Every structure is written in structure tokens, then in C-alpha cells.
């Protein structure tokens, strides 16, 4: 089955569900981020001239990712939303989390791009790279951290295509990466024929942010619980180009 078919099936499944927020803990129960003290952005990390072109150079390639990964641009029709203004969130504080969980950039970037990375299984990981004006990357990370702490009991995000209710959100410990200035990891759940668990890992390198969003669409399509794990080898390969 082709990737596009799987993703569209996932979107259709989510659009048919009407879910209520439940579960989760409070912000004090969440584990801390890997970087406790954010470092300020440096002007050296800021792309010059054409931000989009500079970002493209930083994207991990198939050869660099290794294994059986294919790196591809996701079809626009597969996404719940293709821009922040297309995604409405019932709790405004949760918006950055909704963006990260729908492979949209957080905050107010100067440029961004997204790629799909997969190996032919039901597990999809979306890499979103974004570059920011000085100081804006830290603001974006703060907004995401606030969302992860404030939205533990869930939230609903909707577009013209579908509506998704996340029933819980928790912070996780992001992988250690000494070259990153900040990092944050989350695990979110959706109730649909069991519990569908998806994850994000977000890292800031100066004025550049990379967000990884992983989902196991097999759980939705097969009607059974599923857990998605962000592939450590993929994160290492991409972060190496940014650090």
C-alpha cells in the first residue's frame, strides 16, 4: 500500500471520531527537558540571504540517514493543515503542540520545510526544519514548553479536513545532544479503537529548530492500539548536520 493511501486513511479515521479530553497528569508530573538552561541564539547560526535555500542544505539526505530510509516531501493533500492559520485549536496555549504534532513549524519562522522519512512500514516520522530571526527561536521553544505543561489533559485541533482530539500530553526526556541549545520531547495520545500514541522531539540549534513527529498509522488503519517511537538513528543523522 502506498504511503499516500495510508496517510489519507489515517486522516479519514480521525475525521470520523468525536473524542473527549481525558487522562494525563499535571505539569509537575512531567519529566524535565534535556536542556534545563536555554542558551541564547547566536548570529552565526542564522541563515543568510535565502533562508529557505539554506534550510534545504541542512536537511538530512537518504545516504546520510542510512538504512532503508526514504526522504520525501509529503503530499499536501495528506496533511490535516498546511499552515498554522488552517489549524484551529480550542485552547490557544496548546497551539504550538498542535503544530508540532501535525508537522507544522512552531512560533514565527522566516522559512520552514518538512520531509517525510520512512522505511515502508506503518511508522512515519516527519522532520520539520525552521529558521528564525534572532531571539524568535527561543520564543518558539518557550511556547512549545508552555503548551506541553498546560495541555496535559488534552486538547482538540481541527481544520476543514478533520478534527483530532488528543486525550493526554506528557513531557518525556529528550535524547541527550550536547550540540543542541534546547530540547523538548512529548508523548500524546488519541483514543481510537484503543490508544494511539504519538511522539515529538524538538531541538533548537541557535536560530534553527528541528521537530520530529512520529506516528504509527497502522493502529488507526487496523483498529488496534499502537505506539510510535522517534527513530534515534534518524535524529542523530539529522542533528549532526545542525550541530
**Can you read off the three cell numbers belonging to residue 157?**
485541533
pTM: 0.82
Q: Tell me which residue has cell 487522562.
A: 23
CATH assignment of the domain containing 194:
3.40.1000.70
Residue closest to 14 by CA, chosen among 77, 80, 74:
80
Domain total in the chain: 1
Query: How do beta strands 123-131 and 208-216 pair?
Result: antiparallel
List the chain pLDDT tens, one digit each, 243 residues.
Answer: 333 333 433 454 444 333 322 223 333 333 334 344 455 554 454 545 799 999 999 999 999 999 899 999 998 887 899 999 999 999 999 999 999 999 999 999 999 999 999 998 899 999 999 999 999 999 999 999 999 999 999 999 999 999 999 999 999 999 999 999 999 999 999 999 999 999 999 999 999 999 999 999 999 899 999 999 999 999 999 999 999
Residue 33: beta bridge partners? none
Amino acid at each position: 500500500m502506498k504511503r499516500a493511501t495510508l496517510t489519507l486513511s489515517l486522516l479519514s479515521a480521525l475525521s470520523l471520531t468525536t473524542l473527549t479530553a481525558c487522562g494525563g497528569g499535571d505539569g509537575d508530573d512531567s519529566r524535565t527537558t534535556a536542556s534545563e538552561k536555554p542558551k541564547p541564539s547566536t548570529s552565526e547560526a542564522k541563515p543568510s540571504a535565502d533562508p529557505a535555500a539554506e534550510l534545504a542544505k541542512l536537511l538530512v539526505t537518504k545516504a546520510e540517514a542510512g538504512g532503508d530510509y526514504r526522504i520525501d516531501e509529503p503530499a499536501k493533500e495528506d496533511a490535516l493543515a498546511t499552515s498554522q492559520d488552517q489549524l484551529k485549536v480550542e485552547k490557544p496555549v496548546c497551539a504550538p503542540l498542535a503544530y508540532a504534532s501535525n508537522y507544522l513549524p512552531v512560533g514565527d519562522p522566516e522559512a520552514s520545510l518538512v520531509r517525510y522519512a520512512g522505511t515502508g512500514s506503518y511508522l512515519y516520522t516527519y522532520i520539520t526544519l525552521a529558521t528564525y530571526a534572532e531571539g524568535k527561536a527561543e520564543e518558539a521553544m518557550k511556547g512549545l514548553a508552555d503548551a506541553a505543561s498546560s495541555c496535559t489533559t488534552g486538547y482538540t485541533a481541527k481544520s476543514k479536513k478533520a478534527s483530532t482530539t488528543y486525550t493526554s500530553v506528557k513531557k518525556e526526556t529528550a535524547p541527550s545532544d550536547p550540540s543542541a541549545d534546547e530540547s523538548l520531547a512529548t508523548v500524546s495520545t488519541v483514543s481510537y479503537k484503543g490508544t494511539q500514541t504519538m511522539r515529538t522531539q524538538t531541538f533548537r540549534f541557535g536560530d534553527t529548530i528541528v521537530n520530529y513527529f512520529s506516528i504509527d498509522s497502522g493502529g488507526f488503519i487496523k483498529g488496534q492500539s499502537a505506539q510510535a517511537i522517534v527513530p534515534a538513528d534518524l535524529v542523530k543523522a539529522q542533528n549532526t548536520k545542525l550541530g
